[in-house]
Amino acid sequence: MTHLRLNKYLSECGIASRRKAEELIVQGRIQINGKTVTDLSVRVDPNNDMVRFDGDIIKTARKVYFLLNKPKGVITSTKDEKNRKTVVDLIATHEAIFPIGRLDFNTTGTLLLTNDGDFANLLMHPRNKIPREYSVILDRELSEEDKFKLLKGIYIENRKSKFNTISFPKKNNFKSVSVTTEEGRNHFVKNIFSALGYTVKSLHRERYGDFNASRMKFGEYIQLREKDIHKFISMIK
């Protein structure tokens, strides 16, 4: 193995995605051979350098992939400063895994967890346009005018934002909405509805790309096979 950029090495050790790993480096939480590093351009020799994260020695790990139906009341993080239960606590594995993207505390549904930073980046990078499908319950009926606006696009956070599709799965119930989007920004679904004066009462992610956990019970998970992951990756590239 040749010298690797530090953020790539951290992702291969299952610490975080490359983007999140850069935050850890800047925060001074990484040490190489006893010295704290904050320079993002630093490279690592996996065979000879001793790398620590928060004082613990880290090494590259076998890649694992989990599909979880996230329940309410669980933090989408690897740990919580308030000692609340996290999605990682729900998975029985010896590997250090992290969630791909975020679901809010009371948002339920499909969530992927892994220690493969490259796979996480592949899913989250905007250029790959991975669709997410959500079931939404609103505080009032979605009007045809606002449906048109959400499909055409409105500006939130100074960026044009839209849903790819909007449908009503329950006949004559326009508070219950199914939407798809390629956006991965935090709170995106809630924020875009809020911009038009709607409040999201319930939010459930049905699928992320081809991955769907909605048929499992809340809190249940399965370990995905590597060949299925590779098949999905080959469809994107």
pTM: 0.79
Per-residue pLDDT reduced to its tens digit, 142-156: 999 999 999 999 999
Specify the fold of 4-57.
3.10.290
Q: pLDDT value at position 17?
A: 84
Fold equal for 65-126+211-236 and 131-208? no
Per-residue pLDDT reduced to its tens digit, 22-31: 999 999 999 9
In degrees and rounded to multiples of 5, residue 57 shows phi and psi of -65, 135
Is 228 in the active site? no
Element (H or E) spanning 124, and its range?
helix 117-124
Q: Is 20 helix (H, G, I), strand (E, B) or coil?
A: helix
Q: Mean pLDDT over all residues of the chain? A: 93
Look at residue 61 and tell me whether its pLDDT is greater than 80: no
Mean local confidence (pLDDT), 72-92 = 93
Dist. CA 24–CA 30, nearest whole Å? 7
Q: pLDDT value at position 59?
A: 84
- CATH number belonging to the domain at 131-208, selected among 3.40.640.10, 1.10.10.60, 3.40.50.300, 3.30.2350.10: 3.30.2350.10
Half-sphere exposure of 223 (CA within 13 A, CB side): 11
Residue 107, token pair as written in the block = 């948002």
The residue from 104, 139, 146, 210 that is catalytic is: 104
Look at residue 216 and tell me whether its pLDDT is greater than 60: yes
Specify the fold of 65-126+211-236.
Alpha-Beta Plaits (3.30.70)
Q: Which amino acid is at 57?
A: I
Q: Is 88 helix (H, G, I), strand (E, B) or coil?
A: helix
Look at residue 86 and tell me whether its pLDDT is greater than 70: yes
Per-residue pLDDT reduced to its tens digit, 164-174: 999 999 988 99
Q: Residue ranges per domain, the chain?
A: 4-57, 65-126+211-236, 131-208
Dist. CA 177–CA 166, nearest whole Å? 7
